Amino acid sequence: MRKTPMTVTGAEKLKVELHRLKTVERPRIIQAIAEARSHGDLSENAEYHAAKEQQGFVEGRIAELDIKLATAQIIDPKTVNANGRVVFGATLNLMDEQSNQEVTYQIVGDHEADIAKGMISISSPIARALIGKELGDVVEVQVPGGVRSYEILDIRYV
């Protein structure tokens, strides 16, 4: 089974969601199904069908989270000996040389990526270009809009 990198924070978020689904949502849906069954004819019972649909969604999400956590290679950026290089989990301040704006990104696993929160996937073109680089390096990245240049201003392992 192929391991996928994930930060400690990302794994913790998945564990919290999994716990909530198993201890709160699953029992709530089971109760809703039991209550809907008590109303009689299931073929025309909208509450029953809605609860069964919710159950399918929740059980599917539980299975998905179980797989993500089972295949995760959890990496704590604080414990990685990177010697000042950009590695998985690093948080970077970059200067976008085209727009002259500073941006902050953390390189995270595919399941954690959220560009709105500044979390870029390890398999994104920007992250792949940055891996192994050092403070002060200028990196050119091929993105859908063309080539972008970023200067590495700061590297943190948090």
**pTM to 2 decimals?**
0.82
DSSP state of 40: S
In terms of DSSP bridges, do strands 146-156 and 91-96 run parallel, antiparallel, or are they unpaired?
antiparallel
The per-residue pLDDT of the chain, averaged, comes to 93
91-145 pLDDT, tens digit per residue, is: 999 999 989 999 999 999 999 999 999 999 999 999 999 999 999 999 999 988 8
Question: Which residue ranges form the domains of the chain, and what is each CATH number?
Answer: 4-75 (1.10.287.180), 77-156 (3.10.50.30)
C-beta of residue 72 within 8 angstroms of C-beta of residue 11: yes
